[in-house]
A and B are shown apart, each in its own frame.
Chain A
Amino acid sequence: MTVNIILCGVGGQGILSIATIIGEAAMNENLYIKQAEVHGMSQRGGDVQSNLRISDQPIASDLIPKGKADVIISMEPMEALRYLPYLSATGWIITSSTPFVNIPAYPPIEDIRRELDGVGNVIAIDIEQMAKENDVPRSANVILLGAAQKALGIEYEKLEDAVRRVFARKGDSVVAANIKALKLGKEAQ
């Protein structure tokens, strides 16, 4: 069993923390992992992505082939569309619905939403708003992760344990906020 995940967004939106949590959960299960990241110039407000592959068998390629991604987790709706050719026929898109507009040529958001709807398996959530309303303003990315739980095929408890371990060194209140965020996401699936 292999799960191929593309994490994407705009530099600085926290996609690597999502990858870290999923990676932690997978390591704990003794699964194989490969996670290709983007460092360097493109981190400055440009599009960023990370390829995360989890399997019970050794993984050869660090990159996901086209048509083989099971899940796209995106912190930004247009960025979710960027990796469409990688999504498998049965794959899911879990995305924030809030556009991040830092370019002049950003397409009309209604067109983006319509195109996303056309994909079929899509969960789009206003995670920024949800994070604010629930007093976890810094954990929008973890809400998104919670919303991807079923698509990822990882038991909720295992993700929660991973959140606990990843944030432990930042203190109890940070752990609690992120678990709350994860739960919010899970319920929004």
Chain B
Amino acid sequence: MKKLLLGDEALALGALHAGLSGVYAYPGTPSTEITEYIQNYEATCPTGPNGIHCRWCTNEKTAMEAALGMSYAGRRALVCMKHVGMNVCADAFINAAITGVKGGLVVVAADDPSMHSSQNEQDSRFYGKFALVPTLEPSTQQETYEAVRFAFDLSERLAVPVLLRMVTRLAHSRASVEVGTPIAQRPLSPAEGKNWVLLPAIARRQYAALVEKQKDMEHEASVSPFNKRPTDAAGKKLGIIACGIGYNYVTECQPKDAAVLKISHYPLPAEQVRELAAACQSILVVEDGQPVVENEIKGILGSEYEVRGRLTGDLPRTGELTPDNVAAALGTPSVSAHAEAKNLAPRPPQLCPGCGHRDVYTALNKVAAEIPGARIFGDIGCYTLGALKPFESIASCVDMGASITMAKGAADAGLRPAIAVIGDSTFTHSGMTGLLDAVNDKSPITVIISDNLTTAMTGGQDSAGTNKFEAICLGLGVEPEHVRVVVPLPKNMEEITRILREEIQYEGVSVIIPRRECIQTLQRHLKEKKLKG
């Protein structure tokens, strides 16, 4: 049967058909739709008495660990996140390669070259190499569907987690996918023995075993259906190594006098690279993200052999691949019939009309303007848009939770007032521990938890801390008189600015919680209510 699916949806359905028992994830563009698809599937056609675990996790680290626990119990688990989520769960991920797995464990990292919706464009293939585990990087939606089951099988065959790397243009592009038939979930069968106790003596043994498995991993990649050797390489001028989605752009360009080695399964099969190099005069590496393969094949072929790619400037060093920059690298640049338009202005995203974050920034700007030297440290979410016009309120946005800890560090250095703005979901993701540090140090910071009752930027998923924020702050030791709740509406501006002034003056930790539902989820909820009559 054929279905029109986003790359993310093809991945989700592939996992469902591969006997998935649980998906563990925190929302993040471009990975969010994977878990949403599984949630929707589970809600509309329940998969049996055990069901599939598919509730959102608090962050990527809790997700990775829970998935590892499910794997320990013998069942297949999927972990999904955007690329920067890999940094959050790296500890668990790297060590899961050392413990090994029981039930198949597939870790999806959705990279965002060109940073469409991200703060960097780190390449998750490095994490695969770092953890010494196989990485799959499908080129098409069809391959994505098939790669998931393959990855689960491979994970169980080699007893290691398998990394599945997506990129935005595959995750968020639809194509028709021929889908197969589902297999049953694995039965509960917990792991035995002490291999999972990573005491140094055991960890050394496990690590040696993981290193020993590398040749099996390379062998698997060398016979993988996802890597495709050229059949006609002999005597061709140019050898092209086309990785993941790069293969599509190379195919689109139909290069002449060239042989193409398609790579979608790592570790990079060195023998296939040597074969291509021997048959051709030079190699062009077409890979989305960072020059991972380009660097690696220099070690395989030596410095004499001509290798071109992002490091040589044949392809741009930063930003995603496009059919145009690949065409240019192949010497057949695209030709535009029309020049760039003259009457054009950038249209950056902005906070929705009626959004509560708007009122928060209006109040903050008013109060901050009264105190020279005030700094507002921002965080990750819709409210990061407070950096842009008309607000231009925040001085930083680095990683999940950094608003609180950066404000604390700046306050430690003597900066006054140091204000943090963080969303509700980001706070539970990675803000709570920083707040505890601040409480223990009695740091003079004012923390604004702008609570819109959802994870808004990724489309309105449930937020882990909803209805718990006052209790969390009190539990962490914030003094009750310095936990203040307001409703961010223009009519309350006087009250909000008064409370802000009071708490900024306090030489300790204050938390102000402006709470009003996200305008997008509110509209959706009203519509649902209307439909129900």
A interface, CB within 8 angstroms of B: 10-11, 23, 27, 32-47, 59-68, 78-79, 81-82, 84-89, 91, 102-108, 111-112, 115, 119
Contact = CB atoms under 8 A, between A and B. Distances in A.
For B170, B337, B389, the residue with the greatest tally of chain A CB atoms inside 10 Å of its CB is B337
B172 A60 contact: no
B189 to A, nearest CB: 38
Given A63-B322, A67-B336, A107-B343, A34 B349 contact: no
Given A46-B348, A86-B336, 16 more contacts: A33-B4, A38-B172, A39-B30, A40-B116, A41-B385, A44-B382, A46-B347, A60-B251, A62-B173, A63-B169, A67-B335, A81-B344, A85-B336, A85-B339, A103-B346, A107-B344
A64 B343 contact: no
Interface in B334-368: 334-352
19 contacts: A27-B4, A27-B176, A34-B173, A35-B173, A39-B459, A40-B117, A40-B457, A41-B116, A41-B382, A46-B348, A63-B322, A63-B323, A65-B323, A66-B335, A82-B344, A104-B389, A106-B345, A107-B345, A115-B343
B351 A36 contact: no
Contacts of B252: 60-61, 65
B415 interface: no
A66 B33 contact: no
B341 A44 contact: no
A17 to B, nearest CB: 14
For A65, A81, A91, A119, the residue with the greatest tally of chain B CB atoms inside 10 Å of its CB is A65
Given A65-B324, A112-B343, A46 B337 contact: no
B521 interface: no
Contact of B350 (A45, A59, A81, A107): A45
Interface in B1-49: 2, 4, 6, 29-30, 32-33
Contacts of A102: 347, 350
A41 B174 contact: no
Contact of B248 (A27, A62, A111, A112): A62
B327 interface: yes
Interface in B294-346: 322-324, 327, 334-346
Nearest to A106: B345
Interface residues of B, number: 50
Contacts of B176: 27, 32-33
B288 to A, nearest CB: 12
A33 B385 CA distance: 34
A27 B32 CA distance: 25
A43 B351 CA distance: 10
Given A32-B176, A39-B459, A40-B29, A62 B170 contact: yes
Interface of B: 2, 4, 6, 29-30, 32-33, 116-117, 169-170, 172-176, 245, 248-249, 251-252, 322-324, 327, 334-352, 382, 385, 389, 457-459
A174 B338 CA distance: 39
Contacts, number: 151
Contact of B342 (A40, A85, A106, A115): A115
B248 A61 contact: yes
Given A60-B249, A105-B345, A42 B117 contact: yes
A35 B173 CA distance: 5
A161 to B, nearest CB: 16
Contacts of B117: 39-42
Contact of B174 (A33, A89, A104): A33
B195 to A, nearest CB: 40
Nearest to A91: B337
Nearest to B170: A62
A62 B174 CA distance: 8
B347 A40 contact: no
Contact of A39 (B33, B251, B324): B33
A111 B345 CA distance: 13
For A39, A46, A84, A107, the residue with the greatest tally of chain B CB atoms inside 10 Å of its CB is A39
Contacts of A37: 6, 172-174
Contacts of B249: 60-61, 63
B383 to A, nearest CB: 11
